[in-house]
């Protein structure tokens, strides 16, 4: 059982590292696109970077989203 927990922790860490790398690369590509006058492409890369940086913010339970949207 501890091997499964350890493996899942390792996989989560690798996923975090990969998402961070993807976000960094997308920001670099956005800057390169901006420098060459490709504003639309730069915007798309920035959105990809945002998606990668927030992809790990998965809700713990499906009902959390409904609670967050309805709580004031």
What is the span of the domain harbouring residue 56? 2-70
pLDDT < 70: residue spans in the chain: 1, 56, 58-72
| pLDDT tens by residue, 23-40 | 999 999 999 999 999 999
In sequence order, what are the residues at sequence separation of 6 or more whose Cβ sits closer than 8 angstroms to the Cβ of residue 43? Answer: 30
- pLDDT confidence of residue 39: 97
What total of structural domains would you count in the chain? 1
- pLDDT confidence of residue 51: 93
CA distances 49 to 8, 15, 16, 68, 69, Å, are 25, 15, 13, 24, 25
């Amino acid at each position: 059982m501890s091997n499964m927990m350890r493996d899942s922790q390792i996989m989560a860490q690798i996923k975090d590292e990969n998402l961070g790398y993807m976000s960094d690369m997308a920001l670099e590509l956005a800057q390169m696109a901006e420098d060459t006058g490709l504003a639309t492409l730069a915007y798309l890369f920035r959105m990809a970077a945002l998606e990668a940086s927030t992809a790990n913010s998965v809700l713990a339970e499906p009902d959390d989203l409904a609670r967050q949207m309805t709580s004031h």
